[in-house]
C-alpha cells in the first residue's frame, strides 16, 4: 500500500476512525475546498479543490484495503491537484475544478448551503461500509448507498431517544447482514435484562431493516375534511389479499441528511399536490417492533383542501400511481371504526385526530382557520 493525502471531510478524525486509519502526518496545503455538504452521505457529494491561498488542512496516511474499498463505493479516485504537488503522492477526498465549481454536479440541487456537513452520519455510513462482507462488491454496495445512509441516520435518531429510568437495558453481542438488496435483513444476538433482575439468556433475532419513515394526514380544519391516498401495496398482494389497494396517509422514507418534517412537506407535494401550512406531531411509533426496525414519525398537516383538489400523484419513475381521496373527518373516523382502513399509521392518525381536533384548533393558529 502507498501513502495518500486525505483532504476535506475524508480527513476528519471520525471518518478515519470509522475506516480503521490510525495515525497519519498532518499537513497544511494551499487551496480552497468548495462544496462537500453531502460528502460521505450522498453519491457525488464530495468537495472540489479550487485555486486559493487559504491554508488547507490535510493528513498523509498509508492507504489500506478498507480505504480503497470505501473510495470505490463512494466514487472517489486519487487525483493530482495543481499547486499541491507532493512527490509520488496523490490527494483523496476531493475532485479538481475551477472557480466555478460551486455550479457543478450536486451543488445544483440548491441544498448545498442548507446546513453544516454531518460528520457523525458520514462516519456511521463509513463504518457500515467497512463491515460489509468481503465478497460484496463495491458496485453492489454503492447501489444500496441511499438505503445504507437512511438506515445509519435512523440508528443515530434511535440512539438519541431517552433512556429508561428503571435501568432496563440490553447488550448487543453480535450482528451480521446475510441479505441486502433494496432493503436488508440483519441477524442479531441480544442479551436483555430481565424484569425480575439479572440478565436473560442470549437471544438470536432476525430484523428487517428499512430505515425510518414519516407519514402525514392533511387536514383542512375550516372544511373539516382530510385527504387520504390509495395505492397498490405489495405486502397485502403477497398475502393473497384480493384488495391490495390500501387507504393510507401520505408517506415516505426519510432520506439521509433530511429530517422527518422536511420529508413530509416534500412528499405531500409529490404524492398529492398538497401544500402543508403546519405540521402537528401525532404519536410516533414502531409499527411491528418484533420483526422490523422501522420507526414512523406521524403528523397531522394543516392544509387547504378545496373541492376538486384530489387527483392522481406519485412519481412514475418510482412505480407510483397514487390517488388522492377527500373525505370528511367523521367519514374518516367511521372508516377506521368499521374496518375499511387497514393501514396502521392511518388508523392511529384517524383516531388521534378524532380525539384531538378541538384542542388542536385551540392550540394552533393555523388550525383555527
CA distance 256 to 316: 22
Best CA proximity match to 346, nearest among 215, 212, 210, 211: 215
Please say whether the beta carbons of 220 and 303 come within 8 A. yes
Q: Which three cell numbers stand for residue 93?
A: 477526498
Vertex 25 angle, CA 19 and 26, to 5°? 100
Marked catalytic residue, from 267, 317, 318, 356: 318
CB atoms under 10 Å from CB of 134, counted, come to 7
In the three-class reduction of DSSP (H, G, I as helix; E, B as strand; rest coil), residue 60 is classed as strand
Dihedral angle over CA of 252, 256, 257, 259, nearest 10: 30
Angstrom distance (rounded) from CA 268 to CA 130: 36
Contact 49, 91 (CB under 8 A): yes
- Output the DSSP codes for 113-142: TSS---HHHHHHHHHHHHTS-TTS-HHHHH
Q: DSSP string spanning 170-234?
A: EEEEEEEEEEESSSEEEEEEEEEBPTTSSBPPPEEEEEEE---EEEEEEEETTTTEEEEEEEE-H
Say which residue the cell 493528513 belongs to: 59
- Pairing, β 296-303 against β 213-220: parallel
Report the half-sphere exposure of 221 (CA within 13 A, side-chain side).
Answer: 23
Task: Answer yes or no: 356 catalytic.
Answer: no
DSSP 93: S
Q: Supply the residues annotated as catalytic.
A: 318
Amino acid at each position: 500500500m502507498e501513502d495518500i493525502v486525505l483532504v476535506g471531510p475524508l480527513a476528519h478524525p471520525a471518518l478515519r476512525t470509522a475506516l480503521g486509519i490510525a495515525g497519519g502526518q498532518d499537513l497544511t496545503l494551499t487551496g480552497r475546498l468548495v462544496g462537500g455538504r453531502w460528502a460521505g452521505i450522498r453519491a457525488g457529494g464530495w468537495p472540489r479543490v479550487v485555486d486559493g491561498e487559504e491554508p488547507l488542512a490535510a493528513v498523509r496516511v498509508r492507504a489500506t484495503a478498507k480505504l480503497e474499498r470505501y473510495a470505490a463505493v463512494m466514487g472517489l479516485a486519487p487525483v493530482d491537484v495543481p499547486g499541491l504537488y507532493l512527490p509520488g503522492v496523490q490527494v483523496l477526498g476531493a475532485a479538481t475544478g475551477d472557480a466555478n465549481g460551486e455550479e457543478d454536479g450536486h451543488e445544483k440541487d440548491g441544498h448545498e448551503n442548507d446546513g453544516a456537513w454531518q460528520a457523525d452520519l458520514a462516519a456511521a455510513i463509513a463504518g457500515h461500509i467497512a463491515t460489509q462482507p468481503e465478497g460484496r462488491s463495491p458496485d453492489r454496495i454503492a447501489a444500496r448507498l441511499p438505503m445504507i445512509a437512511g438506515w445509519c441516520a435512523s440508528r443515530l435518531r434511535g440512539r438519541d431517544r431517552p433512556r429508561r429510568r428503571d435501568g432496563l437495558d440490553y447488550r448487543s453481542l453480535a450482528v451480521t447482514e446475510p441479505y441486502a438488496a433494496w432493503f436488508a435483513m440483519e441477524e442479531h444476538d441480544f442479551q436483555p435484562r430481565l424484569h425480575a433482575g439479572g440478565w436473560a439468556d442470549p437471544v438470536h433475532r432476525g430484523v428487517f431493516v428499512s430505515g425510518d419513515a414519516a407519514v402525514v394526514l392533511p387536514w383542512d380544519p375550516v372544511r373539516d375534511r382530510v385527504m387520504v391516498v390509495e395505492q397498490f401495496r405489495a405486502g397485502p398482494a403477497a398475502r393473497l389479499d384480493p384488495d391490495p389497494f390500501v387507504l393510507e396517509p401520505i408517506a415516505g422514507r426519510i432520506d439521509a441528511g433530511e429530517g422527518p418534517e422536511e420529508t413530509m412537506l416534500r412528499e405531500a407535494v409529490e404524492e398529492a399536490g398538497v401544500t402543508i401550512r403546519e405540521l402537528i406531531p401525532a404519536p410516533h411509533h414502531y409499527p411491528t417492533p418484533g420483526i422490523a426496525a422501522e420507526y414512523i414519525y406521524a403528523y397531522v398537516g394543516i392544509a387547504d383542501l378545496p373541492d376538486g383538489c384530489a387527483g392522481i400523484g406519485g412519481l412514475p419513475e418510482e412505480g407510483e400511481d397514487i390517488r388522492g381521496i377527500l373525505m370528511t373527518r367523521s367519514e374518516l373516523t367511521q372508516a377506521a371504526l368499521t374496518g375499511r382502513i387497514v393501514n396502521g399509521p392511518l388508523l392511529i392518525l384517524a383516531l388521534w385526530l378524532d380525539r384531538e381536533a378541538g384542542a388542536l384548533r385551540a392550540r394552533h393558529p393555523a388550525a383555527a382557520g
